[in-house]
Amino acid sequence: MSHYFDPEPSVPSQPRQVTLVLPDLTVELTTDRGVFAGHAVDPGTRFLLLEAPPPPARGELLDLGCGYGPIAVTLALRSPGATVWAVDVNHRALELTTANARAGGAVNVRACEPDAVPPDVRFAAIWANPPVRIGKPALQALLSHWLGRLAPGGRAWLVVHKHLGADSLLRWLGQEGFATERRRSRRGYRLLEVQARATA
Ligand SMILES: C[S@@+](CC[C@H](N)C(=O)[O-])C[C@H]1O[C@@H](n2cnc3c(N)ncnc32)[C@H](O)[C@@H]1O
């Protein structure tokens, strides 16, 4: 069975153009089979891009699980003075993000495998439509790792559907020391704001 998080998707490539239309920008993107949202912009992703506040103008930003790159490209165009790291385990997704950033003029996107982000990088903001389908233990490990790399005062903005465990995720994040609030809710999608752990 093929998953959107397979490193090398087994389904044949069949690129497709999608248009991401937001109040402040419109961008043409290429997606593909074998990556998340291979046919259209995901409604949860669109909700995040519409409802989260503007990203920090400078510093290091992270799109955790970039897929074909709609979040990374948007962050980069909204914050041209920042560096946007776009990480994924799916190689087809990384190639699409690189190509989409180049085509969209988002020169400040660095798409790479997670381990290629230098370990000393700390993020002013993390935005993600996280890979809930990898299962709860793997998702929790993933979020612990990357949220632990928020800079002091940094914020993460996560979109998760209630049917995919948004509310229990919110509680778990709080138990892990990440103060988390539900900022918006629409059609089952929750927009969560997660604060960096307070340092002792
Ligand atoms: C729900 S999709 C979101 C994709 C894209 N950001 C979007 O909004 O269309 C989550 C992404 O996380 C990626 N992913 C899964 N495991 C990962 C990991 N361990 N590290 C980084 N990304 C991962 C998946 O391959 C997938 O592309």
Is 146 a pocket residue for ligand 1 (Cβ < 6 Å)?
A: no
Stretch 67-85: mean pLDDT, rounded?
A: 98
Is 37 a pocket residue for ligand 1 (Cβ < 6 Å)?
A: yes
* C-alpha to C-alpha distance for 79 and 58, rounded to whole angstroms: 7
pTM of the shown model: 0.97
> Which of ligand 1's atoms lies nearest the C-alpha of 6?
25
Percent of the chain beyond pLDDT 70?
Answer: 99
Ligand 1 centre from 12 Cα, in Å?
19
Residue nearest to atom 10 of ligand 1 (CA): 131
pLDDT at residue 1 greater than cutoff 70: no
Domains of the chain with CATH codes: 42-195 (3.40.50.150)
User: Residue 40, Cβ neighbours under 10 Å: how many?
Assistant: 12
> Which of ligand 1's atoms lies nearest the C-alpha of 128?
6
pLDDT at residue 200 greater than cutoff 60: no
Q: How far is CA 194 from CA 32, 76, 181, 200, in A?
A: 31, 21, 7, 18
